[in-house]
Amino acid sequence: MPRSKILKIGGSVITRKDAKTPTLNRKHVRQIARDVARWLKKSDGRLIVVSGAGSFGHPLARAYQLNAPHAQKDALGFVRTTASMLNMAQQVAAIFHAQDVPLCPIATSSVFTTADGRITAWHATPILHALETGLIPYLWGDAVFDLQHRYRILSGDQVMTFLALKLEIGELLYGTDVDGVYTADPHRDPQAAHVAEINDANYAQVRELLGASAHADVTGGMRGKIEELYRTPKRPLRAVIYDATRPRNTYRALRGKAVGTRLVFRAPPA
Protein backbone atom coordinates (compact mmCIF):
# COMPACT_ATOMS: atom_id res chain seq x y z
CA MET A 1 0.00 0.00 0.00
CA PRO A 2 1.87 3.06 -1.20
CA ARG A 3 1.89 6.16 1.01
CA SER A 4 1.02 4.08 4.06
CA LYS A 5 2.91 4.18 7.31
CA ILE A 6 2.79 2.25 10.54
CA LEU A 7 3.42 4.12 13.77
CA LYS A 8 4.40 2.18 16.88
CA ILE A 9 4.02 3.90 20.22
CA GLY A 10 6.15 2.10 22.77
CA GLY A 11 4.82 0.91 26.10
CA SER A 12 7.46 3.15 27.69
CA VAL A 13 5.75 6.16 26.10
CA ILE A 14 2.06 5.34 26.23
CA THR A 15 2.02 4.10 29.84
CA ARG A 16 3.92 4.65 33.03
CA LYS A 17 5.87 1.48 32.47
CA ASP A 18 7.15 1.09 36.03
CA ALA A 19 3.76 1.65 37.68
CA LYS A 20 2.47 -1.27 39.79
CA THR A 21 -1.05 -0.84 38.46
CA PRO A 22 -1.99 -0.16 34.81
CA THR A 23 -1.46 3.59 34.29
CA LEU A 24 -1.78 5.49 31.03
CA ASN A 25 0.63 8.36 30.35
CA ARG A 26 -2.14 10.75 29.33
CA LYS A 27 0.23 13.59 28.59
CA HIS A 28 2.16 11.54 26.02
CA VAL A 29 -0.99 10.09 24.43
CA ARG A 30 -2.47 13.59 24.11
CA GLN A 31 0.74 14.93 22.52
CA ILE A 32 0.81 12.09 20.00
CA ALA A 33 -2.90 12.41 19.19
CA ARG A 34 -2.34 16.12 18.54
CA ASP A 35 0.64 15.35 16.27
CA VAL A 36 -1.37 12.77 14.31
CA ALA A 37 -4.26 15.26 13.98
CA ARG A 38 -1.86 17.89 12.61
CA TRP A 39 -0.35 15.37 10.16
CA LEU A 40 -3.78 14.23 8.95
CA LYS A 41 -4.63 17.82 7.94
CA LYS A 42 -1.60 17.92 5.63
CA SER A 43 -1.52 14.38 4.30
CA ASP A 44 -3.77 12.01 2.42
CA GLY A 45 -1.62 9.02 3.41
CA ARG A 46 -2.87 6.03 5.35
CA LEU A 47 -1.78 5.20 8.85
CA ILE A 48 -1.89 2.20 11.18
CA VAL A 49 -1.08 2.67 14.85
CA VAL A 50 0.35 -0.13 16.99
CA SER A 51 1.21 0.30 20.64
CA GLY A 52 3.13 -1.53 23.29
CA ALA A 53 1.41 -2.82 26.41
CA GLY A 54 3.54 -1.24 29.15
CA SER A 55 2.02 -1.41 32.62
CA PHE A 56 -1.32 -2.70 31.22
CA GLY A 57 0.31 -5.89 29.95
CA HIS A 58 3.81 -6.73 31.14
CA PRO A 59 3.18 -7.12 34.90
CA LEU A 60 0.22 -9.48 34.18
CA ALA A 61 2.15 -11.39 31.50
CA ARG A 62 4.99 -11.89 33.95
CA ALA A 63 2.76 -12.85 36.88
CA TYR A 64 0.95 -15.50 34.81
CA GLN A 65 4.05 -16.50 32.80
CA LEU A 66 2.06 -16.08 29.62
CA ASN A 67 5.15 -16.03 27.46
CA ALA A 68 6.56 -19.33 28.71
CA PRO A 69 7.12 -21.95 25.96
CA HIS A 70 4.78 -24.55 27.45
CA ALA A 71 1.02 -25.15 27.52
CA GLN A 72 0.45 -25.05 31.30
CA LYS A 73 -1.10 -21.61 31.43
CA ASP A 74 -3.60 -19.89 33.68
CA ALA A 75 -6.77 -19.30 31.62
CA LEU A 76 -7.97 -16.55 33.93
CA GLY A 77 -4.56 -14.89 33.67
CA PHE A 78 -4.97 -14.82 29.91
CA VAL A 79 -8.37 -13.12 29.96
CA ARG A 80 -7.26 -10.71 32.71
CA THR A 81 -4.45 -9.64 30.41
CA THR A 82 -6.52 -9.27 27.23
CA ALA A 83 -9.20 -7.37 29.21
CA SER A 84 -6.56 -5.05 30.64
CA MET A 85 -5.36 -4.32 27.09
CA LEU A 86 -8.93 -3.58 25.96
CA ASN A 87 -9.18 -1.14 28.83
CA MET A 88 -5.99 0.57 27.66
CA ALA A 89 -7.22 0.69 24.06
CA GLN A 90 -10.48 2.30 25.13
CA GLN A 91 -8.65 5.02 27.06
CA VAL A 92 -6.23 5.68 24.19
CA ALA A 93 -9.06 5.82 21.64
CA ALA A 94 -11.01 8.35 23.75
CA ILE A 95 -7.99 10.69 23.79
CA PHE A 96 -7.53 10.41 20.01
CA HIS A 97 -11.25 10.91 19.38
CA ALA A 98 -11.16 14.10 21.46
CA GLN A 99 -8.73 15.40 18.78
CA ASP A 100 -11.09 14.18 16.00
CA VAL A 101 -8.60 11.46 14.99
CA PRO A 102 -10.56 8.36 13.85
CA LEU A 103 -8.54 5.77 15.74
CA CYS A 104 -10.22 2.36 15.36
CA PRO A 105 -9.27 -0.18 18.06
CA ILE A 106 -9.00 -3.73 16.70
CA ALA A 107 -8.40 -6.31 19.43
CA THR A 108 -5.10 -8.02 18.68
CA SER A 109 -6.08 -11.10 20.72
CA SER A 110 -9.11 -11.60 18.42
CA VAL A 111 -7.25 -11.06 15.14
CA PHE A 112 -3.94 -12.92 15.49
CA THR A 113 -3.01 -16.49 16.39
CA THR A 114 0.56 -17.62 16.91
CA ALA A 115 2.44 -20.92 16.83
CA ASP A 116 5.41 -20.98 19.18
CA GLY A 117 5.11 -17.20 19.52
CA ARG A 118 5.11 -16.34 15.78
CA ILE A 119 1.98 -15.22 13.90
CA THR A 120 0.52 -18.01 11.76
CA ALA A 121 -3.07 -16.86 11.25
CA TRP A 122 -4.81 -13.49 11.19
CA HIS A 123 -7.99 -11.84 10.12
CA ALA A 124 -7.18 -9.06 7.68
CA THR A 125 -10.70 -7.85 6.86
CA PRO A 126 -11.34 -5.45 9.76
CA ILE A 127 -7.92 -3.86 9.29
CA LEU A 128 -8.40 -3.46 5.53
CA HIS A 129 -11.94 -2.12 5.89
CA ALA A 130 -10.80 0.36 8.51
CA LEU A 131 -8.09 1.64 6.14
CA GLU A 132 -10.42 1.76 3.15
CA THR A 133 -13.02 3.77 5.05
CA GLY A 134 -10.53 6.38 6.20
CA LEU A 135 -10.01 5.09 9.73
CA ILE A 136 -6.73 4.48 11.55
CA PRO A 137 -6.62 0.83 12.67
CA TYR A 138 -5.16 0.56 16.15
CA LEU A 139 -3.58 -2.70 17.39
CA TRP A 140 -1.38 -3.43 20.37
CA GLY A 141 0.98 -5.92 21.95
CA ASP A 142 -1.29 -8.51 23.59
CA ALA A 143 -1.75 -12.03 24.91
CA VAL A 144 -3.02 -14.24 22.04
CA PHE A 145 -3.98 -17.86 21.41
CA ASP A 146 -0.97 -19.99 20.54
CA LEU A 147 -1.22 -23.38 18.84
CA GLN A 148 1.57 -25.03 20.87
CA HIS A 149 1.56 -23.11 24.12
CA ARG A 150 -2.14 -22.33 24.52
CA TYR A 151 -1.44 -18.61 25.03
CA ARG A 152 1.60 -16.47 24.27
CA ILE A 153 2.57 -12.83 24.22
CA LEU A 154 2.54 -11.23 20.81
CA SER A 155 4.67 -8.08 20.85
CA GLY A 156 3.59 -4.86 19.20
CA ASP A 157 6.92 -5.02 17.36
CA GLN A 158 5.99 -8.34 15.72
CA VAL A 159 2.52 -7.02 14.78
CA MET A 160 4.25 -4.06 13.19
CA THR A 161 6.59 -6.02 10.93
CA PHE A 162 3.94 -8.63 10.11
CA LEU A 163 1.59 -5.90 8.84
CA ALA A 164 4.45 -4.23 6.96
CA LEU A 165 5.07 -7.50 5.11
CA LYS A 166 1.45 -8.48 4.45
CA LEU A 167 0.20 -5.02 3.54
CA GLU A 168 3.42 -4.06 1.73
CA ILE A 169 4.12 -1.03 3.84
CA GLY A 170 7.77 0.01 3.70
CA GLU A 171 7.76 2.87 6.18
CA LEU A 172 7.76 2.17 9.90
CA LEU A 173 8.01 4.67 12.74
CA TYR A 174 8.92 3.57 16.26
CA GLY A 175 8.21 6.12 18.97
CA THR A 176 10.03 5.19 22.16
CA ASP A 177 11.47 6.95 25.24
CA VAL A 178 15.01 7.41 23.90
CA ASP A 179 16.14 9.29 20.80
CA GLY A 180 16.87 6.14 18.81
CA VAL A 181 19.68 3.60 19.01
CA TYR A 182 22.88 4.18 21.01
CA THR A 183 26.11 2.28 21.43
CA ALA A 184 24.82 1.25 24.89
CA ASP A 185 21.58 1.71 26.86
CA PRO A 186 21.44 5.50 27.33
CA HIS A 187 19.42 5.05 30.53
CA ARG A 188 22.35 3.22 32.11
CA ASP A 189 25.42 4.55 30.36
CA PRO A 190 25.86 8.33 30.06
CA GLN A 191 28.76 7.73 27.64
CA ALA A 192 26.48 5.99 25.12
CA ALA A 193 26.88 7.51 21.64
CA HIS A 194 23.96 8.08 19.27
CA VAL A 195 23.80 5.94 16.11
CA ALA A 196 22.49 8.12 13.25
CA GLU A 197 21.78 5.35 10.74
CA ILE A 198 21.57 1.57 10.63
CA ASN A 199 21.85 0.03 7.17
CA ASP A 200 22.94 -3.15 5.40
CA ALA A 201 26.60 -2.26 5.96
CA ASN A 202 26.58 -1.69 9.74
CA TYR A 203 23.62 -3.86 10.87
CA ALA A 204 25.73 -6.77 12.17
CA GLN A 205 27.99 -4.43 14.12
CA VAL A 206 25.08 -2.54 15.74
CA ARG A 207 23.34 -5.81 16.62
CA GLU A 208 26.48 -6.90 18.41
CA LEU A 209 26.44 -3.71 20.50
CA LEU A 210 22.78 -4.23 21.40
CA GLY A 211 23.50 -7.77 22.51
CA ALA A 212 25.12 -6.32 25.58
CA SER A 213 22.17 -4.01 26.48
CA ALA A 214 19.71 -5.13 29.13
CA HIS A 215 16.32 -6.46 28.05
CA ALA A 216 13.62 -4.17 29.36
CA ASP A 217 10.66 -6.55 29.18
CA VAL A 218 9.35 -9.93 28.03
CA THR A 219 9.35 -8.86 24.40
CA GLY A 220 13.02 -8.08 23.85
CA GLY A 221 13.62 -4.33 24.19
CA MET A 222 15.63 -2.36 21.64
CA ARG A 223 17.52 -5.37 20.31
CA GLY A 224 14.27 -7.28 19.76
CA LYS A 225 12.88 -4.32 17.85
CA ILE A 226 15.81 -4.10 15.45
CA GLU A 227 16.15 -7.86 14.91
CA GLU A 228 12.43 -8.12 14.21
CA LEU A 229 12.73 -5.32 11.67
CA TYR A 230 15.81 -6.66 9.92
CA ARG A 231 14.51 -10.21 9.52
CA THR A 232 11.26 -9.02 7.88
CA PRO A 233 11.84 -9.78 4.20
CA LYS A 234 10.27 -6.53 2.97
CA ARG A 235 12.73 -4.45 0.94
CA PRO A 236 13.35 -1.61 0.71
CA LEU A 237 12.42 -1.19 4.36
CA ARG A 238 12.69 2.22 5.94
CA ALA A 239 12.20 2.93 9.61
CA VAL A 240 12.93 5.53 12.20
CA ILE A 241 13.29 5.03 15.94
CA TYR A 242 12.71 8.34 17.73
CA ASP A 243 11.81 9.90 21.06
CA ALA A 244 8.01 10.10 21.16
CA THR A 245 7.95 11.62 24.65
CA ARG A 246 8.93 14.99 23.12
CA PRO A 247 6.10 17.19 21.84
CA ARG A 248 5.90 17.50 18.01
CA ASN A 249 8.45 14.75 17.45
CA THR A 250 5.78 12.33 16.20
CA TYR A 251 4.61 15.00 13.75
CA ARG A 252 8.18 15.42 12.52
CA ALA A 253 8.61 11.67 12.15
CA LEU A 254 5.31 11.37 10.23
CA ARG A 255 6.41 14.21 7.92
CA GLY A 256 9.68 12.39 7.21
CA LYS A 257 11.90 14.98 8.95
CA ALA A 258 15.19 13.87 10.51
CA VAL A 259 14.54 12.53 14.02
CA GLY A 260 16.20 9.77 16.03
CA THR A 261 17.92 6.87 14.27
CA ARG A 262 17.16 6.10 10.63
CA LEU A 263 17.12 2.48 9.42
CA VAL A 264 17.35 1.64 5.74
CA PHE A 265 17.54 -1.96 4.52
CA ARG A 266 17.77 -2.72 0.80
CA ALA A 267 19.54 -6.09 0.58
CA PRO A 268 17.61 -9.22 1.65
CA PRO A 269 18.18 -10.31 5.28
CA ALA A 270 21.40 -12.34 5.68
29 versus 131: smaller Cβ distance to ligand ADP: 29
Asked if 19 interacts with ligand ADP (CB under 6 A), we say no
Give the number of other Cβ atoms within 10 Å of residue 201's Cβ: 9
Q: Which of residues 195-214 bind ligand ADP (CB under 6 A)?
A: 210, 213
- How far is CA 82 from each of CA 86, 95, 101, 194, rounded to the nearest angstrom? 6, 20, 24, 36
Q: Where are the beta strands (DSSP E) in 125-193?
A: 136-140, 142-146, 150-154, 171-176
* Interface with ligand ADP (CB under 6 A), residue from 221, 227, 228, 262: 221
φ, ψ of residue 105 to 5 degrees: the values are -60, 130
Per the CB < 8 A criterion, the answer to whether 243 and 269 are in contact is no
154 versus 181: smaller Cβ distance to ligand ADP: 181
> HEC states along 17-51?
CCCCCCCECHHHHHHHHHHHHHHHHHCCCEEEEEE
Dihedral of the alpha carbons of 161, 167, 169, 172, in degrees to the nearest 10: -30
**CA dist., res. 89 & res. 83, Å (int):** 10
What character string, x for contact with ligand ADP (CB under 6 A) and - otherwise, covers 32-61? --------------------x---------
* Residue 130 beta carbon to ligand ADP: minimum distance, rounded to whole angstroms: 23
Asked if 178 interacts with ligand ADP (CB under 6 A), we say yes
* Interface with ligand ADP (CB under 6 A), residue from 22, 59, 137, 186: 186
Closest chain position to ligand ADP (CB) = 10
Q: Is the dihedral of CA 232, 171, 53, 207 positive or negative?
A: positive
Q: Which of residues 144-173 bind ligand ADP (CB under 6 A)?
A: none
* Interface with ligand ADP (CB under 6 A), residue from 184, 200, 235, 252: 184
* Residue 59 beta carbon to ligand ADP: minimum distance, rounded to whole angstroms: 14
Asked if 12 interacts with ligand ADP (CB under 6 A), we say yes
* Residue 112 beta carbon to ligand ADP: minimum distance, rounded to whole angstroms: 18
* Residue 158 beta carbon to ligand ADP: minimum distance, rounded to whole angstroms: 12
> Which residues have a Cβ under 8 Å from the Cβ of 187 and sit 6 or more positions away?
178
CA 158 to chain centre: 8
* Cα atoms in the Cβ-side hemisphere of radius 13 Å centred on 233: 2
73 versus 223: smaller Cβ distance to ligand ADP: 223
Asked if 260 interacts with ligand ADP (CB under 6 A), we say no
CA 21 to chain centre: 21
40 versus 57: smaller Cβ distance to ligand ADP: 57
* Residue 186 beta carbon to ligand ADP: minimum distance, rounded to whole angstroms: 6
Asked if 15 interacts with ligand ADP (CB under 6 A), we say no
Amino acid identity at 112 = F
* Interface with ligand ADP (CB under 6 A), residue from 106, 131, 216, 263: 216
**Contacting positions for ligand ADP (CB under 6 A):** 10-13, 52, 176-178, 181-182, 184-187, 210, 213, 216-217, 221-222, 225
